[in-house]
Homo-oligomer: A and B are copies of this chain.
C-alpha cells in the first residue's frame, strides 16, 4: 500500500468563491503513481467545503443562492460574540460537507462525465489549506 499527501493553499479574492480543483487532483494523482485506490480531498478549515458537481456557472450561482437562503450572512449568530462575523460560513460548511472521496481506477480519477471537484470558500481573502491524500497501489 502506498500513501501520498499534498496540501493545496487557497487564497480567494472574494469572500465566497467556488474554485475548480479537478486538474490539481489529477496532477496529484499522477504524482502519487497510484493506480487503484481512493483520494480524499478535505478542507482543513471550518469555513470551506468540497463539492462535486457540474462546472456550469448557473448551478454554482444557484447553489450559492440556496446556501445564502438557508444559512444567511447575518450579524446575530452567537458565534459573533467572539468578535468574528463568519457564523454563516460555518453553517454553509455544515450543509455542503467539507470533504469528498474520489475513487481511483486504472490510474484515473474515476469521475462521471460532468463531475467536477470544487473548493467552496465561504470566508475567503485569507490563506487556507486543503489536504489531498491518495491511498492505494
Contacts and interface: CB of A to CB of B under 8 A. Distances in A.
Interface of A: 1, 3, 5, 36-38, 40, 42-46, 51-54, 56-59, 61-63, 66, 70-71, 77-82, 87, 90-91, 93-101, 103, 105, 110-112, 114-115, 129, 131, 133, 135-137
A53 B58 contact: no
Nearest to A52: B98
B45 A58 contact: no
Contacts of A46: 52-54, 112, 114-115
Candidate in A43, A66, A80 with the most chain B CB atoms within 10 angstroms: A66
Sorted nearest first, the 9 A-B pairs with minimum C-beta distance are A44-B112, A58-B78, A58-B79, A3-B36, A103-B133, A1-B1, A46-B53, A62-B77, A59-B79
